[in-house]
Amino acid sequence: MNAPALAEVMADADLIHDREALEDAIETMADAMRDEYAGDERPPLFVTIMHGGMPFAAQLAFALGERGLDVEFDYLHATRYRGGTSGSRLAWLHRPATPMRGRRVILVDDILDEGHTLKAVGRWCEDEGAADVRIAVLATKVHDRCVDGVCADWSGVDVPDRYVFGYGMDYNEQGRNLPAIYALGE
């Protein structure tokens, strides 16, 4: 069965957060993050979780740079969705090449839903010797199904317990480049 095209889904989708609200949230996050890392001798390792985290991570990195906080970039690709609308077992497609031993690491992702991916990635960073692992997400889904011990250190906006897409989040690999967050129509 093929998924409906994005245009069909958009006809009934609800706008949850527009671009201006998301950009304001990212600016607020950057202020808090600058304060956290100010005075560190070495820039934090800024690890983007692909593909969803890419648009948010780019905006956040620019906002941090405007505030004088340098970061060192790397990325990883781990997914539970593989184009679907429900998660399965975690698949590692690329691990960061930068050594993490003794580093302060910021994991940057599009959304904290239940936290399975972020928990596994955070544990991997710790196993690699990271001194500190923090999580920055654009959105946190509001529900009571989060994995124990997983929460975002910085979160831009809350989203309802619905399937959301846009600004990095996809609907069947579509709509990641939408400049806002939408929810599938109810």
Residues 178 and 65 sit within 8 Å (Cβ to Cβ):
no
- Residue 95's nearest CA partner among 110, 77, 122 is 77
Residues 160 and 183 sit within 8 Å (Cβ to Cβ):
yes
With 0-12 CB in 10 A as exposed, 13-18 as middle and 19+ as buried, what is 8? exposed
Structure tokens at 38: 């100010």
Active site members = 113
- Residue 168 φ/ψ region, left for φ over 0, alpha for ψ in the -120 to 50 degree band, beta for the rest: left
Question: Strands (DSSP E) along 39-183, which ranges?
Answer: 45-50, 72-79, 91-94, 104-112, 132-141, 154-159, 164-165, 181-183
